[in-house]
Amino acid sequence: AQKITQTQPGMFVQEKEAVTLDCTYDTSDPSYGLFWYKQPSSGEMIFLIYQGSYDQQNATEGRYSLNFQKARKSANLVISASQLGDSAMYFCAMREGVYTGTASKLTFGTGTRLQVTL
């Protein structure tokens, strides 16, 4: 089974509108972290936002927020007031394991390509 599922291969949004990028995950580990990364066409991976499995509140970082629904195992990224520079590939990723001590890897989804239009 896929650990991270991103069902939207591509999304379009108009400038200044909000957009939600979906991510569902599968784990039996009670301790995990969920991350979103942005990959522009230039190829680098940029960390955007993190949500921990024990966090009570949804994470926010500027125009990025995470709609975390633990029972549904979803961690959707919301980008508010989209800008042309937001056009990129967006990856959801998960780290599993205990909260300390392990060098646990990131497992990535297949990504969603977001295109912001005028």
Partner 1 sequence: EPEVTQTPSHQVTQMGQEVILRCVPISNHLYFYWYRQILGQKVEFLVSFYNNEISEKSEIFDDQFSVERPDGSNFTLKIRSTKLEDSAMYFCASTLRGAVNQPQHFGDGTRLSIL
User: What token pair was written down for 87?
Assistant: 């056009």
19, 25, 77, 109: which one contacts partner 1 (CB under 8 A)?
A: 109
User: What mask of x and - would describe binding to partner 1 in positions 71 to 100, judged by CB under 8 A?
Assistant: --------------------x-x-xxxxxx
Nearer to partner 1, 64 or 108 (CB): 108
Q: 116 with 87: CB under 8 angstroms?
A: yes
Q: Is 116 in the site for partner 1 (CB under 8 A)?
A: no
Residue 40, SS3 per DSSP: coil
**Distance (Å, rounded) from C-alpha 62 to C-alpha 64?**
5
User: What mask of x and - would describe binding to partner 1 in positions 27 to 56, judged by CB under 8 A?
Assistant: ----xxx-x-x----xxxxxx--x-xx---
